[in-house]
Structure 1
């Protein structure tokens, strides 16, 4: 990539970060073209050409993605608050737009989300964020750490990755019931299978919360477990809400063969340092751990 193209992409990346930070505010063409330092007369076409969807639609989808996360995973926030934060003057206008896009009212989605149309609706948005402006990793981004064992409570997700959101809802509800707030209890995922290579019915991922307390028998099937200590290659990932695939691919395809290291006997896992929608999308931080011998 030429220096000029890198600079062009960096200016567009500033726009995406500005949108993330100001979803509650005014996001007009003139202000955003100023952020990118491009002419307002051409910026809309530049944005559409690079990202594959219009600026207006991108902003709508960014607001709707945050709203849907708040509905599904943050039940302390009212539907009215979520509607206002998404830029709607009244809850009924938000409800119409939400139903039109996802096929469910906000209230129904909050209770029992249908994730398949949700994933389909955000396909163009997710593609714009991760494919057009994908981060490039280097060996300097990877550190090797010696880590202590971590005792955790584990809820297993087994089945289609498209239904993972429902398992997350159940896990959040269980954590609340036992007082494992993410602010004091670190959140981990253990990746037992690759969704690209695994039949949907066989896909497995563990949702984990750090705890030193024993896990009492429960109807949700949450059990005690341990993330073993030892040496790990660690890659810090910033600004990816849902997709860790590029970072994982870099570790396996590029970093590992050139490092001289050998893999350990525990799956790839990650820790969520900050969580969306509590943090803006570009401020979400995860650390990806590749266990080593």
Structure 2
């Protein structure tokens, strides 16, 4: 039994036995959270779903943009339009631009390093496209079931989900409505991204997504410079209890380590896992 189940984001596949990699990820997340809460006394298990997406996310060469499948390329263009909307007249030109130029333009607009953003975008959208691929999607089914099974077996008080993991956790929690969760904490979540994520979710959120039925409280934390946690605030599209925007770092605008080590993450979790000598709060 673990008191926290983590659901990782993109770029976490590693060779080796599933349990060994899951143990390493759990230890890594625990080290970051131990700075904020009494991590030694609160067991944490990361639901490691990355291998289920591996069969449809091959190794990329270079920055990976040229190797993206067609559905992932379409997602990158939709993402770019979320960050920089264009009028109908300019749309045709946008659709014919090479993908690298699309990403580099976003990098310049957001004052980001192009050589850093390109591989990040390639990794992110390759895995997002693998999970949200339409039709019979065995990868999505297996990833979602694994996360749901981990939560059901561990019976945690808190689920912490980062990046694409927030999408997998959201769908998984809807399949286990009888498992009570005190807190769902999403970090750098792309759940609200139109056309790319929001409109592909199961169950369909329609005009506004609801809190998964077993979740008592849902808090979302986002860095203002996080280019995939868009649009903001997430509470416009989902039934959140709290939507927090806080800077986690200029370079680490999306990493799990930066989000887990953030002061606002500490504040939220302290209500459930207080530091030594502090009273336990009961959020409403």
TM-score class normalised by the smaller sequence: under 0.3
TM-score, with length taken from structure 2: 0.23
More strand by share: 1
Q: Which has the larger radius of gyration?
A: 1
TM-score, with length taken from structure 1: 0.22
Report 1 or 2 for greater relative contact order, CA contacts < 8 Å, sequence distance ≥ 6: 2
